[in-house]
Amino acid sequence: MTTTNLTLQAPSPAGLTWAITRNENAKSDAERDAILADPGFGNHFTDHMVDICWSEKGGWHRPRVSPYGPIQLEPSAAVLHYAQEIFEGLKAYRHADGSVWTFRPYENAARMQRSAARLALPELPSEYFIDSIRQLVAVDGAWVPSAPETSLYLRPFMFAKEAFLGVRPAKKVAYYLIASPAGAYFHGGVQPVSIWLSTKYARAGKGGTGAAKTGGNYASSLLPQAEAAQHGCQQVLFLDEGKYLEELGGMNLVLVYRDGTLVTPESDSILEGITRDSVLQLAKDRGHTVESRKVTIDEWREGAASGEIVGAFACGTAAVITPIGRLLAEDFEIVHGGPEASELALSLREELTGIQYGRVEDRHGWLLRLDA
């Protein structure tokens, strides 16, 4: 890592003066191409990162683009002890003409503000959030892959960096943005997943932090996720109050009814997914009825048995839409077999990715161009 080669930019439209330090050990074109040929997910990071400091006295200040590398923290940094931390996840997509776009980023910015409020962190202005993405893509745009279904995954995050072991909201906070090239999630076609119903554990509780995108919810999902794997399932489904469907811990849930109605569970412990919102909007545009309401596990069980519920899918930025072929519980199982069970999910997936990759008209104005 090097700290030479520093330039100060003229203030951006968001009013920030970025200090830009180029990474002099950036990957060569050949090294980057080798990574982009098979990036997987979350394994590789681009040459640069962005950070903005916040302090109680100075507000948001010192916006920087610098070489990707380790962060220095005091061992007493509050985040390491009390998990005062939030994050976001969105993607940059390369279109056929080479241009680079992102999808509904103002929704991510607004959600990060809601998460911040819940975790007693400062709210990052939406314009700063968008600016940070533009800055990173300006230096690392070559990292946006172009093969079908690939993208550059963007990971904004914020944490309490104040060195202080007392319990109160930190007076010093850092916002960062890093980026990681992502390969096609499914190789050889989208495959339905099996999910395990966790009845012993919850990821979040009533009045807790379930609706915030915060690491603690993920920490509490790891053990039940391991339990799911032991039962041969790829994902785990959590319940609310022991009987209402909640979500998968990193993806939202949607049930498909025989008459084409889509139902998604409602609860104050569910993270409101932007993928879910988009998919449900596309379904409404097609004339489907869409409901957000409490759904019990018994409703799913009985509906699947009677044929009233014909399928289910999970949705989130990373995997977009994943049909659920089977739900396995301690003492019962729900199976949604056959191609018709995933037909609607797959066609909505095709439409949504079509918009994201510029193949389908963006009639809702969801895309934002990043490289112009």
Ligand X SMILES: *Cc1c(COP(=O)(O)O)cnc(C)c1O
Q: Does 85 bind ligand X (CB under 6 A)?
A: no
CB 154 within 8 A of CB 274: no
Q: Does 252 bind ligand X (CB under 6 A)?
A: yes
Per CB under 6 A, the list member of 250, 265, 303, 323 interacting with ligand X is 250
Q: Does 251 bind ligand X (CB under 6 A)?
A: yes
Task: Show the tokens assigned to 333.
Answer: 């199982």
Q: Closest approach of Cβ 212 to ligand X, in Å?
A: 9
DSSP category for residue 97: T
Distance separating alpha carbons of residues 292 and 278, to the nearest angstrom = 14
Q: Does 311 bind ligand X (CB under 6 A)?
A: no
Which amino acid, one-letter code, is at 287? G
Per CB under 6 A, the list member of 213, 225, 238, 311 interacting with ligand X is 213
Per CB under 6 A, the list member of 249, 265, 311, 325 interacting with ligand X is 249
Q: Does 113 bind ligand X (CB under 6 A)?
A: no
Q: Does 215 bind ligand X (CB under 6 A)?
A: no
Per CB under 6 A, the list member of 317, 322, 342, 356 interacting with ligand X is 317
Note the Cα 121 to chain centre separation in Å: 19
* Burial zone of 93 (CB within 10 Å; 0-12 exposed, 13-18 middle, 19+ buried): buried
Q: Closest approach of Cβ 39 to ligand X, in Å?
A: 18
Segment interacting with ligand X, rule: CB under 6 A, options 65-73, 165-173, 250-258, 294-302 = 250-258
Q: Does 246 bind ligand X (CB under 6 A)?
A: no
**Cα atoms found within 13 Å of the Cα of residue 217, Cβ hemisphere only:** 25
Distance separating alpha carbons of residues 231 and 15, to the nearest angstrom = 52
Per-residue binding letters, 257-286, with ligand X (x by CB under 6 A): --------------x-xxxx----------
Q: Pick between residue 247 and residue 351 the one whose CB is nearest to ligand X.
A: 247
Q: Does 316 bind ligand X (CB under 6 A)?
A: yes
Phi, psi of 159, rounded to the nearest 5 degrees? -150, 160
Per-residue binding letters, 1-20, with ligand X (x by CB under 6 A): --------------------
Q: Pick between residue 139 and residue 262 the one whose CB is nearest to ligand X.
A: 262
Q: Does 356 bind ligand X (CB under 6 A)?
A: no
Q: Pick between residue 156 and residue 249 the one whose CB is nearest to ligand X.
A: 249
Per CB under 6 A, the list member of 48, 247, 254, 351 interacting with ligand X is 247
Q: Closest approach of Cβ 130 to ligand X, in Å?
A: 16
Contacts of 186 (CB under 8 A, 6+ apart): 149, 319
Catalogue the E-assigned strands of the chain: 6-8, 19-21, 48-55, 59-67, 85-87, 90-94, 100-103, 151-160, 172-182, 193-198, 235-240, 244-245, 252-257, 262-265, 290-293, 309-316, 320-328, 333-335, 367-369
Q: Pick between residue 89 and residue 141 the one whose CB is nearest to ligand X.
A: 89
Please report how the helices 339-356 and 274-285 are oriented relative to each other, as an axis angle in degrees rounded to 10: 100
Residues that bind ligand X (CB under 6 A): 89, 213, 217, 247, 249-252, 271, 273-276, 316-317
